[in-house]
Every structure is written in C-alpha cells, then in structure tokens.
Amino acid sequence: MYFQNLVNGLCAGCGYALVALGFSLIYEVCRFFDLGQGGIYVVAFYAAYVVQEWGGLSLPKEFLVSAVIAAGLGSLVYILVYHQLRRRGARNVTLLIASLAVLMLLQNVIILVFGPDIKTIRGNIADIPLQFQGAHFSFAQLFMVIAALVVYALVGLVRMYTPLGRTMRAIGNDSELARIVGVRTERVIVATVAVGSAITAIAAIVKGMDVDIGPTDGLSLVLMAWVATILGGRGRIGNTLLAGIAVGLIGNGVTIWTRTSWQPIVVYTVLLILLFIRPRGVGAIRTSAFEDR
Amino acid sequence: MPYLIHVAIQLLLYVGLAYALDLVLGTTGILNVCHAGFYGIGAYTAAVLCQTYHSPLWFEFAIAGLVAAIAAVLISLPSMRLHDDFFVLASFALQVILSQLMLNWKSVTNGALGISGIPAPILWRHNVLGKTDLLLLTLAIVGCIVWSVRNLQSSPFGRALCAIRADEILAQALGKPTVKYKMAAFVISGSLASAVGVLYAHYMTFIDPSSFDANVSITFITLVILGGAGSRWGPALGAALVVLLPEGLRFIDIPNSVGPNVKQIIFSVCLLLVLIFRPQGLAGHHEFGRFTTE
C-alpha cells in the first residue's frame, strides 16, 4: 500500500520534474516565470493528438513534430511578446502578467479549435501492466521516469560541455557581464526558450501517454512546475529534479489519508510553510538566486 | 428595464472589485492572483450566514471582511518579505487552495453544485426586496469602496505605497516600513473584495466555485490594466469594458458555447497589446510595470 503510493508519487513527480526543467531553464536566463509554458504544453499535446489522428507516424517522429512545433511557438511568443516588453524596460510583474495572457490565449484558442473535452493519445503499449515488489504500474509510468532521467542527463551534459550551455550559465549568472564579454544574449535566450519549450512538449506527450489531457490542464501543471522550480532554486538542475519528485511524493502521500481531490490543497500548504522556513528555496545554496534585481 | 438594472449591478460590482484590486496592483505595483478568492470568501460567507443564521447584512460584511483579512495575513506573512515573484506564487497558491476548498468542503459549500436560494439581504430587520432597492444598496456600498480607495491613495499611506511601487529600496531608505505597508494594502484590498462578494451572493441568489476561480482573478487583473492601473478612472473604465463588451458581443452571432472563449481571446490579446504599446492603460498616466524615474 505505502510502496504503491511511493511508486505512483515517483512517476507523477518525474512528470512534474520534466515540466519544471523547461520552466527553470527559461527562468535561469530570462529571470521570470514563463507561465505561457502551460499553453505551450497544451498546444504540444494537441499537436501530438493531431499527428496520431492522421496516423502514419511512429512514436519518435511524433515526439519530433510536437517538439519542433512547441519550440517554434515558444520562440515566436518570446520574440513577439516578451522581447518587446523587455526592450521597452518592462519589470518582472509585467512579464508575468503577459505570460498569463499568453497562457489564456493559447488555452482558449485550443478550446475554440478542438472543443473543451479531454483527448487521449494513449497507445496500446502504454497500458501494458507491470509489477515490481507488489506495486502495480503501467508502461507509460515507467516511460515517464526513464524519459525524465534521460532528458535531465542530456540537459545536464549540454549545460556543462557545449557553448550553448556555457553561455546559458553565463547569462544566468550575470547577463550584463555576459553581454560585455561578447555573448549574444538575445540569441542565447531565444535558443533557451526554444529548448525549454521542446522539453515542455516532451513532458506533455509523456504525460499524455499515461493520462488524458484537456485544454485547461496547463495552468495547474505549470503551477506545480513553478513550485518545483522555486524549491529547487535557480540554476540548479539536479535540485529541480529532486524537487519535482518531492512534489509528486507529497501529492501522492496525501492520498493515503484522504481523497485525491484534497491533493492541491496539501501541496500548496506545504509550499507556503516551506517558503516561510526557507525563503530562498529549499535547494538553493547561498546564492543570490532570489535577491532583488 | 430589468435587463438594464442587471447590467448596472454587474457593472457596479466589477467597479468595486477593480478599485479594490487597484490598491494592490496599481498603487503598490504587486501582482495579486487571488482577488477572485477573496471575492469568493465574501460570497460564501454571506450565503452560509444568511441561509443558516438569517444574519443581518452588516454582520455578514464584518465576518466576510474578517475571514478575508485573516487569509490575506496568513498568505502575506511568509511571502511579503521575499521577492515579489514569491508573493505572486503564494497568492496563486491561495487562489488554488480557496477554489479547491469551495469544491471539496462539501458540508459547507455544497461542492461543485454551489449554494442556491440565498435570501435577500436583511437591513435593519427588513428584507431588501426588489432589484431597484438592491441596485441602490450596491451603489451605496460600491460608492463607499471607491471613495475609500481613492482617499487611501491620496493619503500619506497611499503615497508611501506609490513610493514602494516606484522604488521599494528607496522607500525603505526613507524609513517607510514597506513590508507592513504592502501587507496592509493587501489585507484592505482582500476585505473590500469580500464585501463585494457579499453583495454578489445576495444579488445572484446562487453561487458556485466557477465564479471565483483563477480565470476570474486573471480577468480582474486584465480589466485593471486595460483601464489604467493606479489611475483615477482607469479601473472604472476597465470594468465598463469587461462588462459591456460581452453584452455587445451578444448582438453579434457567436454560438453560446464558444462565447466565453472568444471573450477570453479578445481580452488576452488586448492585454498583451496594452502591456506592450500603452503600459499606462487606456485612461492612465503612469506606465505600469516599467522601470521609470518617478
């Protein structure tokens, strides 16, 4: 019973962690929480849905199409909205409100086109039942864990060893200084937004293989990712993974004592308590991560 | 005529909510995403008190304001000390918690079905019956709210809030207790919103959680910024736009099922355009959320 909950929590947590990764990559370089990723998430899921309805594409190609669409949409939104705002000297609050507007816009466009009902992209493989030490889970859940680990490892390597990763970290550290030493910051930021959106798309499909998703699911998911990003601390990918899993475990642990519907209440109450105890984020070491800028 | 009264009451409620939110969003410059939550606290408190205990209107206002104030203090204690982003997340968390409580605390709120048959408000042992009387009552209360927010904004307290918006560190350096002031603004705004919620519950006689969820909060933010955050007539103008636009859309042929979505799309596009090209809003004077030298 407890072990089953642990397994469920781990799988759900890996789902949150995947969304949180795209989210926190963007947060690291742009310094604001891009809630519009919730909209990208839904759009990516519906792209995969359309691809599947038309048929004829294998799963890897489905991932590719959806990720490319998400990356294109994400960078388009950045260039059309956030870049314009930043160029005009907008504060963080403004960017947050704009990202909320983007979320509402994408969500409602999807409802207008596809209707408000949930859609499914679950294939036959996804439902294969598996068992480990008495805990039952589906292949889709296992896939979620594997996908999270692989994507995190890849992103970690890219951040460490490639020029893009180095410039990303440089901008995260001090964007002004990065510009002075010759980093083309805006290009790197657009590239990061594209990568982050692509990861969000992967998260959407992986999640979609496990459960059905509707157009309004973006907001609650992006909130969970926001929680994980803050608990993990800025620019610390490993901590984000752990924080995402922790959010999943807390959420599923709750179901031992009470109904599932109370899950959000407990998760957010825990978040508020954690913020009270560790205002800089639980995972953040003594960085200036959340100082005023 | 009943239709006009309906629109008028709706407009007044939105004007009250807009000015209440403007105290935090426009004057202090903090993004508050749980305005609809406070509004809901007011509505549910009024519904429960009036249905179960037949309490008078002033008592409902008092209790609703108190509950909202307690929630506001609880949420701002851990988050106001921190960077503003934390506060936004905390207010979002409060919004989700409140929405979920309305959905799940079935013994009190009746869950997703909502509470119906809320009686007319009791004013000095008399029931306020009839839409016209209710309109006058709403006009009086909302007038009080707008008047007090306007007065607060031009008081020394309000000027300190403006200073916080322009440059919080500077305000601190001038000896203003910025955290206390921000909390006070947030608590006052929440209580005022809950007062509007009381009126809403009595007017609609039916409430359910969908009227107080995060989307509604986002609508309030949109209308304040569209009109002009922190300006004299901006919130009223924004409220008028948001209430009258759907009424206008009614005359164009849009199927009922997609009406709300079309509305949301129009609002989000307008919000983005205003944020980029006219940050002071339609009627505003100061540029919202920009680094300026005020």
Is the pLDDT confidence value at A293 over 60? no
Token pair listed for B151: 């007065």
Assess contact for A199 and A151: CB atoms under 8 A.
yes
> Would an 8 Å CB–CB cutoff place B216 in contact with chain A?
no
Is the pLDDT confidence value at A24 over 60? yes
Helix (H) or strand (E) holding A204, with range, is: helix A185-210
**B89 vs A227: CB contact, 8 Å cut-off?**
yes
Calpha distance A74→B67 (Å, rounded): 41
Report which DSSP code applies to B280.
Answer: T
Report which DSSP code applies to A126.
Answer: G
> Would an 8 Å CB–CB cutoff place A132 in contact with chain B?
no
Testing the interface with B: which of A97, A259, A266 to mutate, by most B Cβ within 10 A?
A97
Q: Which amino acid is at B134?
A: L
**B84 vs A93: CB contact, 8 Å cut-off?**
yes
Q: Which amino acid is at B173?
A: A
**What residues of chain A lie within 8 A of the CB of B100, using their CB?**
261-262, 264-265
Question: What pLDDT shows up at residue A124?
Answer: 65
User: Which residue of B79, B90, B271 is in closest CB contact with A101?
Assistant: B271
Question: What pLDDT shows up at residue A221?
Answer: 86
- Give the bridge partners for A129, in sequence order: A138
Q: Which amino acid is at B243?
A: V
Helix (H) or strand (E) holding B158, with range, is: helix B156-166
Calpha distance A244→A225 (Å, rounded): 7
| CA angle at B25 for the pair B21 and B29, rounded to the nearest 5° | 160
Question: What pLDDT shows up at residue A280?
Answer: 63
For A55: left if phi > 0, alpha if psi spans -120 to 50, otherwise beta; the answer is left
Given a cut of 50, the residues of chain B with pLDDT beneath it are 293-294
Closest residue in chain A to residue B291, using alpha carbons only:
A89
Tell me the average pLDDT across A147-157. Answer: 92
Question: What pLDDT shows up at residue A279?
Answer: 64
Question: What pLDDT shows up at residue B197?
Answer: 93
Question: What pLDDT shows up at residue A56?
Answer: 67
Q: Which amino acid is at A254?
A: V
Question: What pLDDT shows up at residue A282?
Answer: 60
Higher pLDDT, A38 or A260: A38
> Would an 8 Å CB–CB cutoff place B294 in contact with chain A?
no
**What residues of chain B lie within 8 A of the CB of A32, using their CB?**
85
**A94 vs B104: CB contact, 8 Å cut-off?**
no
> Would an 8 Å CB–CB cutoff place A101 in contact with chain B?
yes
Calpha distance A100→A79 (Å, rounded): 16
**B85 vs A290: CB contact, 8 Å cut-off?**
yes
Render pLDDT for B91-116 as a digit per residue (tens, 0 to 9).
888 898 888 888 888 787 887 888 88
| CA angle at B75 for the pair B17 and A222, rounded to the nearest 5° | 85
Calpha distance A224→A245 (Å, rounded): 11
For A236: left if phi > 0, alpha if psi spans -120 to 50, otherwise beta; the answer is beta
Token pair listed for A270: 């825990």
Is the pLDDT confidence value at A126 over 70? no
**What residues of chain B lie within 8 A of the CB of A98, using their CB?**
271-272, 275-276
Question: What pLDDT shows up at residue A155?
Answer: 92
Calpha distance B92→B21 (Å, rounded): 15
Look-up: residue for tokens 């206390």?
B180
Render pLDDT for B5-64 as a digit per residue (tens, 0 to 9).
888 888 999 999 999 999 998 888 888 899 999 999 999 999 998 888 888 888 889 999
> Would an 8 Å CB–CB cutoff place A33 in contact with chain B?
yes
User: Which residue of A108, A264, A276 is in closest CB contact with B100?
Assistant: A264
Assess contact for B35 and B93: CB atoms under 8 A.
no
Helix (H) or strand (E) holding B74, with range, is: helix B57-79
Question: What pLDDT shows up at residue B144?
Answer: 93
Is the pLDDT confidence value at A136 over 80? no
Calpha distance B52→A12 (Å, rounded): 41
